[in-house]
Chains A and B, each alone.
Chain A
Amino acid sequence: MSGFGIKELVDVLRASAGEEEDVNLEGDILDVDFESLGYDSLALSNTVRWIERDLGIALPDEAIDVGSTPRGLLDEVTRAVARVA
């Protein structure tokens, strides 16, 4: 377990890329794509680099995909953490 879940992801999104006003990041967003959450590729790039840095992991370039979802990104994180362990 990385201990990095949706709550931690939302914290990083807010800190690294900010928050869209009409989107509720506290809601059920696991399967909502990042574009619909208001994040473009640069925002997601910032978020992904931040996670890599804090967890000491490397995520594939495909992790920066605005068509992906928080669940998809968290799965990538879990796999990356397993590779390091």
Chain B
Amino acid sequence: MTAPVVTGLGVLSPNGSGVDDFWAATLAGHSGVAPLTRFDASGYPSGIGGEVKDFDAAELLPGRLLPQTDHMTRLALVTAEQCLADADLDPRELPDFAVGVVTAASAGGMEFGQRELEALWGRGGAYVSAYQAFAWFYPVNTGQISIRHGMRGASSAIVTEQAGGLDAVAKARRHIDHGTPHMVAGGVDSALCPWGWLCMSRSGRVSTSTDPNRAYLPFDVEASGYVPGEGGALLVLEDPRAADRRGAPKRYGSVLGYASTFDPRPGSGREPGLRRAVELALDQAELAPGDVDVVFADASGVPELDRQEALALAAVFGTRGVPVTAPKTMTGRLLAGGASLDLAAALLALRDQVVPPTVNITHPAHGELIDLVTDQPRELPLTHALVLARGLGGFNSAMVLCQGED
């Protein structure tokens, strides 16, 4: 399989919009996690989240798109525009089927759906928007991005909960291997509305802490679950020859390996699938564990899941064998968007030879197993990065990146 090269990035994150602001905030340890403002969360078990700040959809998108889009689709459309501009790629200048798009979703347009269901039950069917037909549908971001930019190549949507941010990029990589030379891929997600919040709260994995700096503490003895956030990242991936042919200006890095596994049946007592995903991804990248310079952890924040991840990393890399980080402590977990944002962070880390920190960790819980980069960025030579993601329901994914072209 040809290793596709990443030639463009788009980012909307709770701690910074756009690649530059996000990366500066992330290296500075600035968190975007705060009490929710989008709706009144006072009646819910938790009220802390990572909201994308100062997002004015009417300012950023054409008027025709506003009545037909959920908030998460608006975020995705703006992110897509960013990544295409960063890659200097205009799909309309290329052959009809040369550019495709794969996005990851968790539940679709929850806020739009809630509003229309309220209209249906509160006022009657005549008050339901015709756009409900697709606006709350999980593949809607793929469709809207494809339509807006004239991307008619192989396209699809992936729903694997929070592993989707890697799985979508892996699917795009397969499309490139099968002959679609240019792809946009990743996840941008949001469910920060009462209905979405209720669903997430019921998972039992969301922290009920009221302190934004203590609510999401993965790999800390005080870990108490996670903080949901919104946003994510989209990547432009290209066949390296096609990128050269069109004169793509940037090469952030390449995708060398990927694997996804599924956990055994709950209660089976067998080992979770994460370690196997890491080993299979390394095999595909033709790398040994010692070749990996940094790991961007899934960092669940649920103590047992953190322990499982630390054990898997220690099993593959040896105890404290590789620096591990979780910049998502500054954003919360962005549903299907989180792992894509980690890919962006990992590519920027490779570019700048610096590992961003995990913030707010005061008492590491697994210091004997993993070398967690806390408080300050750590500068060191970086050639290969590993990004991990797990999704509720047993999904495990691992992706290996390298600096520049393979």
Which of A20, A45, A49 sits near B63, CB closer than 8 Å?
A20
What is the distance, in angstroms, from B292's C-beta to the closest C-beta of chain A?
Answer: 47
Quote the shortest CB–CB distance from A48 to chain B (angstroms). Answer: 9
B side interface size, CB within 8 A: 13
B residues within 8 A CB of A83?
Answer: none
A45 to B126, CA, bound (A): 12
B63 touches A46 (CB 8 A): no
Which residues of the other chain, A, contact B133 by a CB distance below 8 angstroms?
A: 42
Contact at A16–B127, with CB atoms within 8 Å?
no
Contact with A along B44-66 (1 / 0, CB 8 A): 00000000000000000011111
- Chain A residue at smallest Cβ distance from B132: A46
Q: Are B131 and A46 in contact (CB under 8 A)?
A: yes
Look across to chain A and name the residue whose beta carbon is closest to the beta carbon of B129. Answer: A46
Docked-complex contact A45 and B130, CB < 8 angstroms: yes
Q: Is B68 at the interface (CB under 8 A from chain A)?
A: yes
Is the beta-carbon distance between B63 and A21 smaller than 8 angstroms? yes
List, in ascending order, chain B residues with CB within 8 A of A46's CB. Answer: 67, 129-131
Chain B residue with Cβ nearest A21: B62
Q: Are A16 and B67 in contact, CB atoms less than 8 angstroms apart?
A: yes
Name the CB-closest residue of B to A44: B130
Residue A15 CB within 8 A of the other chain: yes
What's the Cα separation between A67 and B131 when bound, in Å?
A: 21
Partner pick for B126 among A17, A20, A52, CB 8 A cutoff = A52
In residues 75-127 of chain B, which contact A (Cβ within 8 Å)? Answer: 126-127
Cα distance, A62 to B67, chains bound together (Å): 23
Q: Is chain A's binding surface mostly helix, strand, loop or mixed?
A: helix
The docked-state distance in angstroms from the alpha carbon of A45 to that of B68 is 13
Q: When the two chains form their complex, are residues B131 and A19 in contact, meaning their CB atoms are under 8 A apart?
A: no
Contacts of A15 in B (CB 8 A): 67
Distance (Å) between the CB of B119 and the closest chain A CB? 11
Q: Point out the residues of chain A lying under 8 angstroms from B62, CB to CB.
A: 18, 20-21
Q: Contacts A42-B131, A42-B133 given; indicate if A18 touches B126 (C-beta within 8 A).
A: no
Tell me if A43 is interfacial: C-beta within 8 Å of chain B. yes
Instruction: Please name all residues of chain B whose beta carbon is closer than 8 Å to the beta carbon of A16 when the two chains form the complex.
Output: 67, 129
The distance in angstroms between the C-alpha atoms of A49 and B131, with both chains bound, is 12
Q: Which residue of B lies closest to A40 (CB)?
A: B64
CA distance A32 to B12 in the complex (A): 39
Would you call A19 and B64 a contact (CB within 8 A)? yes
Chain A residue numbers with a CB within 8 Å of B126 are 49, 52-53
B359 to chain A minimum Cβ distance, whole angstroms, is 40
Considering only residues 2-17 of chain A, those with a C-beta below 8 Å from chain B are 14-17
Contacts of B129 in A (CB 8 A): 16, 46
**B68 contact set on A, CB distance < 8 A:** 17-18, 42-43
Does A38 sit within 8 A of B, measured CB to CB? yes
What are 5 A-B pairs with beta-carbon distances under 8 A? A16-B129, A18-B63, A20-B64, A21-B63, A49-B130
B interface residue numbers (CB < 8 A to A): 62-68, 126-127, 129-131, 133
